[in-house]
Amino acid sequence: MQSTQTSEPFRVIQSDGSVGKYKVTLSDAELIQCYRTMLTVRAFDDVCMKLQRSGRIGFSVPNKGIEACQVGAASALRNTDFFFPSYRDFGMALYHGVEPVEMMHNMFGNAKDAARGRQMPVHFSFVDPIKFFSISSPIGTHLPQAVGAARAYQLRGEDHVCLTSFGDGGTSSLGFHSALNFAGVWKAPVIFLCQNNGWAISCPSSEQTASDGFAIKGVAYGVPGVVVDGNDVLAMHQAVREAADRARAGEGPTLIEAVTYRMGGHSTSDDPTKYVPKEELAKWQERDPVVRFQAYLKKRGLWTAALETEWTQAAMERVTAAAKTAEATEGPGLETIFSDVYAELPAHLRAQGEAAFDLARRKGSADAGDGAFPL
């Protein structure tokens, strides 16, 4: 594994798909699961972009180019570990068995959305089959929360770790520094995954920091850092597995800098052609993580053109069906404005609820039914 003092990121899969003498520990089934999850992430991206551009959902976040970071990291952890993700981590949930339809319910904010439409699209949260903390828009706020959860595991003597991921822009937040400080002091079982994808919206990494990368920032807090090729699934798996082993052994946190690149916009709300140099994008397109992993699988005898067609079509059909189901699902009931907070509704909220239903009834809203507040 590379240290923070080396300039070249740790890499396993070369551009031609070879891995040299590296011993791959993932089984054939796990390798195929990684690849098919990456294809599903791309399908989810494609469908969500079309839904947003056609006005059927309000927002999405492209993942193209970052899939190896997400999937490689997820493949090294248990579904009993706790994930504190950024909004560009679709693959972590999908790898551990979250169905696309559960994610699509959030994209549409319907009645089956875990947040009952209270969150923006892409702000997923799941309890089963993975512990996936609710994604939040404010940058860096989830890092101290991950440390707190890891500290709780530590105090209870439980054999779990927390992984929190964030972009290079997240290192400029107060949460990044306070989280590293507490994690270092407590030797909390937490893995910090910085996805250095080149841009914090339109701000390049070169304007984010004057330090030699981001992994080195852990040194000041007593947290070891490693630099990894984020477009290499196997390198990501190795780095996160080693960090998890350290954490479970009581040796504390690790800061991983995954050098990668987003090949789309920060979100559907910006236009990357306004700030991303064409030659830079072209260079990173040649390092496409899906294509590189495909080359490795082909050398191993696990990939063929026929399988690619089958898997790509299956991923698209699965995501398309999920979108259709979620779009056809009714919206949250009016009463959900007041539910899911108190076991017993306080009098002042009950009065507000009754007034809301009465107003909706008088305005002819179908949400109000007969006007009786149901809580």
* Catalytic residue from among 262, 287, 292, 296: 262
β-strands 203-204, 199-200 pairing = antiparallel
Q: What is the pLDDT of residue 1?
A: 60
Q: What is the pLDDT of residue 7?
A: 63
Q: What is the pLDDT of residue 5?
A: 44
142 catalytic, yes or no?
no
Q: What is the pLDDT of residue 372?
A: 87
* Catalytic residue from among 266, 287, 292, 296: 266
* Catalytic residue from among 177, 248, 275, 318: 275
Q: What is the pLDDT of residue 177?
A: 97
The answer to whether 124 touches 132, Cβ cutoff 8 Å, is yes
**Cα gap 188→15, rounded to integer Å:** 36
Q: What is the pLDDT of residue 97?
A: 97
353-375 as b/e, with b when 16 or more CB fall inside 10 Å?
beebbeebbeeeeeebeeeebeb
Q: Which amino acid is at 266?
A: H
What is the per-residue DSSP string for 125-189?
-B-SSSEEPPP-SSTTTHHHHHHHHHHHHHHHT----EEEEEEGGGGGSHHHHHHHHHHHHHT-S
266 catalytic, yes or no?
yes
Q: What is the pLDDT of residue 354?
A: 93
Could you tell me which CATH class the domain 28-328 is placed in?
alpha beta
246 catalytic, yes or no?
no
- Local confidence pLDDT in tens for the 375 residues of the chain: 644 444 689 999 999 999 999 999 999 999 999 999 999 999 999 999 999 999 999 999 999 999 999 999 999 999 999 999 999 999 999 999 999 999 999 999 999 999 999 999 999 999 999 999 999 889 999 999 999 999 999 999 999 999 999 999 999 999 999 999 999 999 999 999 999 999 999 999 889 899 999 999 999 999 999 999 999 999 999 999 999 999 999 999 999 999 999 999 999 999 999 999 999 999 999 999 999 999 999 999 999 999 999 999 999 999 999 999 999 999 999 999 898 889 999 999 999 999 999 999 888 887 777 788 888
Neighbours of 70 (CB within 10 A): 32
